[in-house]
Amino acid sequence: MTVRFLLVFTVMWLWSNVAVATILSGELRLDNQDILISPTQKYHGQFDLRSKLPMGDQFVLSKVIINFRFQDDKEWVRTPGPNSMEDTGKVNRHDGIALRNKRVSGQTDHYYIAKRTIHMTNEEEVVELTIGRNIFYGTTIRRREVTRENLGQKSVNLGAYRDIGDNHRTRQHFRITESVLETYMDGYDGLFEIGRKQLDLATVQDLAYTGLLEFELGGKGDYIFVDATLLYEGYVTGLDVKENTGNSLFSGSLWLALFSIPIGGILWRKKSQNVAVYKSQKRITQRRVPDQRAF
């Protein structure tokens, strides 16, 4: 009976205390920061959760996840590359314009490409984010591509001379040059982030105690701190548990009493049956024993 009493009491007491716990979750955003971070000076910021956490109550933070976004700030460095003139080998023979010189049989166009090149570079940016004992890194994304821009054509009269490809007949020759600009990009730029990083337990406990989470931004190169988000999870035990401790014990005792009534009835009935059986067996035994005084 004692073991059953303790078991029932423990289960009911635990149930009554768990029932008053409240889930705690939410987020805090640092929007539109637009802060330039440079190698010469680190930036110190913080999340202030004191208005979101029940600081006056008892609560536990079980998980904190952070997400930071950044933007590369350094402009691409433009460096002129080599220029070249290339004969495409393409030749177009046609009648051409009417010429006074009857010895000229037509016009021959020779096609060339005049190429200008530009090299664009941008160094890699590296973010170092420090929160307590947690250190996270993020880097800009590498970009490699070649673009080609047509700058137009230019025609130059080369004069009249024999065309080997036209049985050495005299033709008017023109050089048709197509100018293009090729841009070679090889560098790092764009938006980048330190995404969904979970903080260690010690840092989470410090946040629960003070309501403030401080962070430091440093690293390599110039970049812009765009925004950040903090997600937290936990549960609140709070003042309700303190005020309702007596109620919890009372509810546990009530459940125990209600649960014990049928159990006690069963045990009492079983005990009564055992007593009745014992008395019946005793009467039978007494009848079977002979009276010694008769002899």
Q: Tell me: the pLDDT tens digits for 196-252?
A: 999 999 999 999 999 999 999 999 999 999 999 999 999 998 554 444 434 444 444
Q: Are 105 and 170 in contact (CB under 8 A)?
A: yes
The answer to whether position 8 is within a domain reads no
The answer to the question of residue 251 being in a domain is no
246-248-250-255 Cα dihedral, nearest 10 degrees: -170
Number of domains in the chain: 1
d(CA 36, CA 56): 37
- Cα 89 to chain centroid distance, Å, stands at 54
Instruction: Answer yes or no: is pLDDT of 186 > 90.
Output: yes
Q: What is the pLDDT of residue 286?
A: 53
On the 0-12 / 13-18 / 19+ scale of CB atoms within 10 A, 213 is buried
pLDDT at 33: 95
Query: 220: which strand partners?
Result: 126
Global pTM value:
0.62
Among 32-36, 42-46, 75-79, 102-106, the least confident range: 102-106
How many Å apart are CA 161 and CA 38, to the nearest integer? 65
Domain interval for residue 147: 21-243
Pairing of strands 77-80, 59-72: unpaired
According to DSSP, residue 221 is labeled S
> Is the model's pLDDT at 287 over the cut of 70?
no
pLDDT band at 294 (very low <50, low <70, confident <90, very high): very low
What confidence category does residue 138 fall into, taking pLDDT thresholds of 50, 70 and 90? very high
CB 137 within 8 A of CB 204: no
- Does residue 164 lie within any of the structural domains? yes
Give the lowest-confidence range in 87-91, 100-104, 280-284: 280-284
| Mean pLDDT for all residues in the chain | 82
User: What is the pLDDT, as a whole number, of residue 271?
Assistant: 56
Query: Where on the phi/psi map is residue 272: left (φ > 0), alpha (ψ -120 to 50), or beta?
Result: alpha
What is the C-alpha separation between 150 and 115, in angstroms, rounded? Answer: 10
